[in-house]
Amino acid sequence: MAKNEIVTQVYEVNRISCGTEIKGSLISSSDIRLDGYFEGRLITSGKLVVGESAKLLGDVVCRSCDNWGVMEGKLVVKEIFGLKKTGSITGNIGCEKIFIEEGGVFNGSCKIIDEQTFEELKVKFSQ
């Protein structure tokens, strides 16, 4: 391994805290925990956790996602999307697996996708 090669650590987490507002694009190879406000495009090869106080508006591509907050936009998930009882999502979802807890609000459509379709959608969203 070269000295300047970046190796993602298991416990690396990007955190956007409550009271923080970000507009634009966020691209990461690590997990992301959102408790603030994000508007734009978010792409991570890690897990996305949207906290109860969070609001996310825009397009998202991630490995997996748990949502306790408010999401609006397109969501493409490689593995599993979990909508928790305090969470809501308005928009279209593409994922391999989905679960919605009682109390979770989902307005939109969901398409179950395989890994190949995920990779195609990921490229589309990354442009």
Domain boundaries, the chain: 21-126
Beta-ladder partners of 28 = 44
User: What is the pTM for the complete model shown?
Assistant: 0.89
Strands annotated E in the chain: 13-16, 21-28, 31-34, 37-44, 47-50, 55-62, 64-67, 70-72, 75-77, 80-83, 88-95, 97-100, 105-112
Residues of the chain with pLDDT under 50: 1
Q: What is the pLDDT of residue 60?
A: 97
pLDDT, position 9? 54
